[in-house]
Chains A and B, each alone.
Chain A
Amino acid sequence: AQTVTQSQPEMSVQEAETVTLSCTYDTSESDYYLFWYKQPPSRQMILVIRQEAYKQQNATENRFSVNFQKAAKSFSLKISDSQLGDAAMYFCAYRTLFNNNDMRFGAGTRLTVKP
């Protein structure tokens, strides 16, 4: 069964600095999707970035980028120029290519941004 592990329960970053959140996953499949979701306090979960496993190029969305290492089954999120609004829980998630219900989430990393 696929599992997603986020080994950092909490992380802290100074405003304007860069932080990297870690995620590893376990799967026997070769094609899948990986996601980072952001959940601000008392607000809904929103998609930050998506990576297709068949793409070698790392996904980038403005200040957010990923380091996808397929062989190592690692999928880290880098947040550059951190802003106060980046403070939230961040969840790494995995979905198989062919099973639409099978999205597995990690336990999350709580990111604090210090002014």
Chain B
Amino acid sequence: DTGVSQDPRHKITKRGQNVTFRCDPISEHNRLYWYRQTLGQGPEFLTYFQNEAQLEKSRLLSDRFSAERPKGSFSTLEIQRTEQGDSAMYLCASSSDFPEAFFGQGTRLTVV
């Protein structure tokens, strides 16, 4: 499978715990994006990498959120001290020279 891969698919955590999600983009794609999607809404942009450089972060990305893309390959999104409001689907997408992004299946986070 050469698509965008995300792990885990589902995560249930207690409030206050830290969680980390992983995204493996399509191998030749140099651009990687993280989005958050809540029920009944479209995806909202969180952050963007070109290769290993994090070029932009949304205001939605509070200081409890951090994302990395070491060596310009896979990326991780960490949420510290999770809150119930963090419950959402976290989507990763990647792209190359084409304007469209290719999405992974997402990680559904539930904070209890």
Contact with B along A24-47 (1 / 0, CB 8 A): 000000000101010000011111
Contacting pair A100 B31 (CB below 8 A) = yes
Count of A interface residues, CB-CB < 8 Å: 24
**Minimum Cβ distance to chain B for residue A19 (Å):** 19
Contacting pair B99 A107 (CB below 8 A) = no
Cα distance A47–B95 in the bound complex, in angstroms = 12
A91: CB under 8 A from chain B? yes
Cα distance A108–B42 in the bound complex, in angstroms = 6
A91 with B99: in contact, given A100-B31, A101-B55 (CB under 8 Å)?
no
Contacting pair A107 B45 (CB below 8 A) = no
Nearest B-chain residue to A49, judged by Cβ: B100
A47 with B100: in contact, given A100-B50, A108-B42 (CB under 8 Å)?
yes
A106 with B102: in contact, given A100-B48, A101-B56 (CB under 8 Å)?
no
Contacting pair A50 B45 (CB below 8 A) = no
With a cutoff of 8 Å between Cβ atoms, the chain A residues found around residue B103 in the complex are 37, 44-46
